[in-house]
Amino acid sequence: MKIYFSHGKESGPWGTKIKRLAKIAEGMGCAVESVDYTDLMDPVLRVERLLEVLASEEGRFLLVGSSMGGYVSLVASETVKPEAIFLMAPALYMPGYEGQGYHSRSSHIEIVHGWSDDVIPPENSIRYAKQADQTLHLISGDHALNSSIELVADLFVQFLDRAID
């Protein structure tokens, strides 16, 4: 199983969360790739880049996205069909983002969002999780979730246990 990570607007492909989760994934036998979007600020162009990367993917894969990367992963999943998606504080229903419908082809989506997020309201993830009937973990933490990284890591392990069976 291969996992494609998509980072947030102001972070990079190997930020703290992605490094931590990639190490877990590799330890569980998954290959990982973290797409670099640092030259693109437009979420639509980031979706296009992810779809270009995935165009040559022939096996089963998962998408993992944080913040704008969560938006990118979810919108890309309207075109491709990942086995599952793990979203951290996804930038859903944000002004200026083109796609707002979110009709993923994946039936297994899990979201982690911090109650104290002052960048993307947790209500946005509640709205999506309710509409899509998907799992939502609301936890103590801010937008970066760094103060809750151990809990995020535990939730990711559980997610992978379900997704790679």
> How many distinct structural domains can be found in the chain?
1
Tens-place pLDDT, residues 117-150: 999 999 999 999 999 999 999 999 999 999 999 9
Contact partners, residue 101, CB within 8 Å, separation at least 6: none
**pLDDT at residue 153, as a whole number:** 98
Q: Domain of 29: which CATH number?
A: 3.40.50.1820
Buried b (16+ CB within 10 A) or exposed e, 121-151: ebebbeebbeebebbbbebebebbbeebbeb
User: Which range of residues forms the domain containing residue 76?
Assistant: 2-163
Tens-place pLDDT, residues 72-108: 999 999 999 999 999 999 999 998 887 788 999 999 9
Please give the share of the chain, as a percent, with pLDDT higher than 90: 94
pTM, whole model, 2 decimals? 0.97
